[in-house]
Structure 1
């Protein structure tokens, strides 16, 4: 018996298409509502900035995501692991929001005895993981300190030193707290010398260091790379007699040091070490790390 095929049999397909079009229209309307797209983008940006994975439309990292040594490989390259020396070295790490919550117990068991934690950047950013990282390292027995990523194009050195001290960068005479560090290196957000002349950069660094000492009673450590120091300060040698040097070089030896320093206090030798990536060697046994903490 022939089957009667009327328009009734095609109605489900037509109805489904109508429902799909209605759904798409509703979705488009939702995305155009005030604040909808903005809220989604803001949430994504907050997550990325906190973990150090953020990026902007021009390919530059989001402000606040800078960390020690992020320009080393690009500008200076990378070689083999450090050579064995007769000088005792004490293993340490540096961390920022890039690492998130750190497994300090595993680091301690592996032989890491000291740590530096990013506290601030410029005059606008505080590490959201600072508490877990700074207190966590201390609680497992490490000697720890805080560092500031300097952005000389944003404000005076004194302004950023005060911001640093006010937000975790202070020092206490407990034998377990290292003096603060000024991380001064390539600008990840723009011109590598932050638009400063060489003399202007030296003046900015001096302003930071002078203010930090006035606030804490300690001379801050300077973290830098020799090639950046030469380009952006003219290889100024006036800080070496007072401020300890933390050199960044991912190779078999520390290589040439900036003018004014005959020896480094610390050496960041890799960004791909166990557990957290950034590993360092203190130039001496643990008692020398303790001596720096005591002042």
Structure 2
């Protein structure tokens, strides 16, 4: 190859071949810079929509985090303490501290966003990652220290929150139903299978307002006319009730009570008196069924408890003064039960020991009533029709 002379033209090939090493290096760097710029532009164009999408995801999360009640309460509690510390520092230090705090928060936010962008570019963002970045990027707000009045109100509110809640207000019991007015005695009867068929319309026309009907006796006997007599009286407008003749020595009180109630078919219909336990001396021996006073107490209580359990009513107790004295010992255990007292040949019955008053009085067993063949038992309810109707509810 001939050496270059001034007369030779400088073609591009000749120029390149004639360039120095420094010039070649500069040209290569220029080309690399152009390539990097082009690649960077492509990356920015590719990342721009991703960044925009991430920011859209972050915005509601950041607002939700900032507005969360727990965050607000935390800021409210911490703000007074921060303000108290800042008041003790020189102003330049406070400003520097605030500046550094804001710078640190901004740095954390930048790191969170950059990390999220890089992760999105590689694998696409997931919801937990977005929420984590939002938590990392949140910058605490700067709040001014509350005024003394506000501070006092906050402290009072915190004190109230720490106090136990007041006890619940107990609902007041409903006022008791007013007592029905007293009235003149009300006439009635009691019947059993011995009275046979009864014309109840004539009984009602004869002024009788209520009746008790034998349902069961002891363990095995059932009045064969019970349903006919009981429902016939109700159909004629009388208030009716069923009674059981007790035989404590023949079976348990619970067994007799259940059998009685199964037959009586008690209904709370406003026309039915509470079930009756008829306590009399043993028809065979004339005594107390071979039982002690305590045993009679227990038998009677068990019977009454079963009736109360099944009907919700305290049974009426039928007895005469001598039986209550000899077989029940004059106990006042059953004073809360209505008393149907048998006492003949007197103008006014004597209340046996253990009861404060009587409600029904069987004053004869030789009464005459229209619609009934032969004699029958006559009774009075002493407190008037309004209270009789209330007892039948």
TM-score of Structure 1 vs Structure 2, range by shorter chain: 0.5 to 0.7
Instruction: State the partner residue of 1:88.
Output: 184
| Bigger share in helix | 2
- Pick which of 271-280 and 199-208 moved more: 271-280
Instruction: State the partner residue of 2:249.
Output: 153
Instruction: State the partner residue of 2:343.
Output: 249
**Deviations, residues 151-180 of structure 1 (Å, cap 9, x unaligned):** 001011111110100111x43221001110
Q: 1:287: how far off?
A: 1.1
Equivalents in 1 of 2:227, 2:306: separation in Å? Answer: 24
Unmatched 5+ residue regions in structure 1? Answer: 1-85
Larger radius of gyration: 2
Asked if residue 187 in structure 1 is aligned to residue 282 in structure 2, the reply is yes
Q: Could you say which structure has the greater relative contact order, defined with CA pairs below 8 angstroms and 6 or more residues apart? A: 1
Whether contact under 8 Å (2:183, 2:385) holds in the other structure is no
Instruction: State the partner residue of 1:224.
Output: 319
Whether contact under 8 Å (1:254, 1:267) holds in the other structure is no
SS at match of 2:187: strand
Equivalents in 2 of 1:293, 1:110: separation in Å? Answer: 21
Count of paired positions: 207
- TM-score, structure 1 as length reference: 0.68
Whether contact under 8 Å (1:237, 1:258) holds in the other structure is no
Equivalents in 1 of 2:254, 2:202: separation in Å? Answer: 37
Q: 1:263: how far off?
A: 1.3
Instruction: State the partner residue of 1:64.
Output: none
**Deviations, residues 194-223 of structure 1 (Å, cap 9, x unaligned):** 111111111110010011111111110000
Q: 1:191: how far off?
A: 4.1
Aligned structure 1 segments of 4 or more residues deviating by more than 6 angstroms: none
SS at match of 1:233: coil
Q: 1:87: how far off?
A: 6.2
Q: 1:91: how far off?
A: 0.4
Root-mean-square deviation over aligned CA pairs: 1.4
Asked if residue 204 in structure 1 is aligned to residue 299 in structure 2, the reply is yes
* Alignment counterpart, residue 359 of structure 2, candidates 244, 248, 265: 265
**Deviations, residues 204-247 of structure 1 (Å, cap 9, x unaligned):** 1001001111111111000000111101011111110x210000
Asked if residue 138 in structure 1 is aligned to residue 234 in structure 2, the reply is yes
Asked if residue 281 in structure 1 is aligned to residue 380 in structure 2, the reply is yes
* Alignment counterpart, residue 238 of structure 1, candidates 333, 353, 357: 333
Equivalents in 1 of 2:347, 2:278: separation in Å? Answer: 21
**Deviations, residues 119-178 of structure 1 (Å, cap 9, x unaligned):** 00111010001121101100110000100000001011111110100111x432210011
